[in-house]
Amino acid sequence: MSDIILALRNATKLYAGVPAIENVDFELRRGEIHALVGENGAGKSTLTKVMAGVVTLTSGTMQVNGADVAPRTPLEARHLGIAMVFQENSLVPTMTVAQNLFLGQERFYNRLRGIYIAAQQFLQSLNFDVTPTATVELLGAAKKQMVEIARAVLHEAKVIIFDEPTATLTPEEKKYFFDLVRDLKRRGVSIVFISHALEEALILADRITILRDGKHVVTDDAAKFDRARIVQAMVGRDLSNTLYGLRKNSVRPAGARVLTVQNLKMAPMVRNNSLSVFAGQITGVFGLVGAGRTETFKVVAGVLKRDFFHGGEVILHDKPVRYRVPAPAVRAGIAYVTEDRKVEGFFETMSVSRNIYLGLLAKLPGGRFFLSQREAGKVGKTWVDKLRVRTTGNTMKVVELSGGNQQKVVIAKSLVQDPDLIIFDEPTRGVDVGAIVEIHELIQRLADEGKAVVVISSYLPEIMALSDRILVSRQGKVVEEFSALEATEEKIMYAAVH
């Protein structure tokens, strides 16, 4: 039996005549963990969707165990032993874990108790600590991931494809996920995983394949790669000096105080939090998961409400404000760029232009009675050009864009409102390195233009590369402030932990 379980030869997939992948050769060995990396739009998702039967090749061949196959549906791929765990999980949130596991395998008469017992036994055999009777929407991201994996294994998948599996996981959950993947490998399952976190590829993978602009660049053992080599292969240029590389030797001086948060409380996440944000500066907010950073700024932006009793004060331009919904905050000049773009950032089946136009409408008091397609197109085009969103046209749906370009649409949707205070929450999560550089440049430009910019990030190099001042959050409040000139990773992490 050949060592190769799955292979693609000269794989080409065209969308409206534009190649998403072009003459790509790919081989997956039995029991290996194979990382697929590349910029957004490099063709990783298309390649994996071909394997999983979500899309079919325009030309080229696919082989499973040496036999030519062409799965046209995910079900056909599943029958070939190929399962895919999507970035946005495909579980039914209102159903239980067991029901999700056996979804699609129901019989004419289903005995719920029997399903639960079977699910319990199966999950235990995988050593997964998930309650089969729990409703999926109540599970954390890691547990949901486990259910997805369990479902793939239940379908006797020999190849499991993960699309950005760690994007929504906490550091602890990531570690657990890595253990799961290694366990699957021990069981002889071959893993393909897409990740923008290059360190993960280096740590976890046996081999790494790099794609660029829909073409295969290199495949090699992970041990022969380092971060710089991967980045250079991904973008075709050396980014080591532009991406997190340079240490700041000057910071922007603070302008007028735009935002003051005083003794803000939102139990249990925000505890007596106080901070200020100044115009013309990038204020970085670092903290571990659960430090209350996102919640604090969601209260500022009217997405969440502070405590009803003695919830503290939010002062914008020297005036106390209390927003119960985001609309008045938007009109007051606050833009919040969400960390969860797929859920909160855009309407995925609407066009790029319409999404950006919606941002503008949110700024107008009472919205508009009649919507102008022409205005939407014009506004959309302006911002697509300005932020260099890579689309085939303004009418393209946002769901069809790569992660980095989706993020640019979310940012454009906020910037079209001409805000004074822009809050970026994890602005480059799930975004490739090329787009990261562009988004960072945009954030810097906004601060140079005199806007008050807040960047919330769990990634220390990003915080250090962007911020003029760094606030460290711990247990619901800001506990330390550093100038970017004095900050070191050790100092910041010490403040975040102790």
Partner 1 sequence: MIAALKGFAERFLGRGDATITVPSFDGALKPNQILAKAETIGQFDAPEDLATDGKTLYLADGAALLRLDGAATTEVRHFDRAITALCCLPDGGIAVALDGREVQVFATPSAASATATVSDPSFHAINALAPGPLGTVIATDGSTARPYPQWTHDLMERGRSGRVLSIDIASGRVRTLASGLHYAFGVCASGEALLVSESWRHRVIAIAPDGSQRSVLDNLPVYPSRLSPAASGGFWLTAFAARTQLVEFVLRENAYRRRMMNEIDPAYWIAPKLKSGQSFLEPMQGAHIKTMGVVKPWAPPRSYGLIIRLNAEGMPLYALHSRVDGVNHGIVATVEMDGALYAIAKGPGRLLRAPLTMIEQELHA
- Which stretches of the chain bind partner 1, using CB under 8 A? 254, 256-257, 260, 262-263, 274-276, 278, 308-313, 315, 318, 320, 322, 469, 471, 478-479, 481, 483, 485-486, 498
DSSP 179-230: HHHHHHHHTT-EEEEE-S-HHHHHHH-SEEEEEETTEEEEEEEGGG--HHHH
335 contacts 453 by C-beta, under 8 angstroms: no
CB of 274 to partner 1, least distance (A): 4
Q: 63 or 262: whose CB is closer to partner 1?
A: 262
Largest CA distance in the chain: 73
285 contacts 292 by C-beta, under 8 angstroms: no
346 contacts 410 by C-beta, under 8 angstroms: yes
Q: 218 or 254: whose CB is closer to partner 1?
A: 254
CB of 481 to partner 1, least distance (A): 5
Which amino acid type is present at position 93?
P
Token pair belonging to 254: 């603070």
Which amino acid type is present at position 441?
E
Calculate the alpha carbon distances from 368 to 346, 361, 363, 371, 373 in Å: 19, 7, 10, 6, 12
Q: 125 or 483: whose CB is closer to partner 1?
A: 483
145 contacts 174 by C-beta, under 8 angstroms: no
CB of 458 to partner 1, least distance (A): 21
Q: 312 or 430: whose CB is closer to partner 1?
A: 312
Q: 34 or 469: whose CB is closer to partner 1?
A: 469
CB of 8 to partner 1, least distance (A): 54
Q: Percent helix, strand and coil across the chain, each rounded to 5?
A: 35, 25, 40
Q: 70 or 267: whose CB is closer to partner 1?
A: 267
Beta partners for 194?
A: 36, 163
CB of 425 to partner 1, least distance (A): 20
Q: 36 or 471: whose CB is closer to partner 1?
A: 471
CB of 222 to partner 1, least distance (A): 40
Strand spans (E) along 16-139: 18-29, 33-37, 59-64, 67-69, 82-85
Instruction: Give the span between the Cα atoms of 311 and 328, in whole angstroms.
Output: 19
Calculate the alpha carbon distances from 151 to 85, 92, 101, 164, 298 in Å: 9, 13, 5, 18, 35
CB of 171 to partner 1, least distance (A): 23
CB of 489 to partner 1, least distance (A): 19
Instruction: Give the span between the Cα atoms of 150 and 434, in whole angstroms.
Output: 34
CB of 277 to partner 1, least distance (A): 9
The SS3 call for residue 448 is helix
Q: 435 or 484: whose CB is closer to partner 1?
A: 484
Q: 95 or 254: whose CB is closer to partner 1?
A: 254
